[in-house]
Amino acid sequence: MPPDPFSAAVGGVRVRIRLAPKSSANKIMSIEADGDGNGYIKAMVTAAPQAGKANAALIKMLAQNWRLAKSTLSVIHGATDRNKTIEVAGETDALLRQLHEWRGQYQ
């Protein structure tokens, strides 16, 4: 099983993402490990990386997959980079349980 892309944060959870914009579909490909052994979610969106469109498409896709409000998700690192950190606001323990249940489909 790849390392966990989720980490507890004050007031929520942080998620490591590697995004491929201008792809053929909006989808989550897999959960993988980087060269340092850190887990991340490999995702792709059809939107171009212009004026925040790819980030907005990513937030929308994640919110739908995780059944969360888009307003609870925000890009806190890597707004103009492929490697991003998303913060999900909410009760940390409940979010971690929910996200780890979702992660089960990628094992």
* pLDDT tens column, 13-38: 999 999 999 999 999 999 999 999 99
What is the model's pLDDT at position 24?
Answer: 94
Which residue in 12, 26, 2 sits closest to 73, CA to CA?
12
- pLDDT tens, position by position, 60-99: 999 999 999 999 999 999 999 999 999 999 999 999 999 9
Q: What is the dihedral of CA 91, 97, 100, 102, to 10 degrees?
A: -90
Average pLDDT over residues 44-69: 96
One-letter amino acid of 3: P
Query: pTM for this one?
Result: 0.93
DSSP state of 2: P
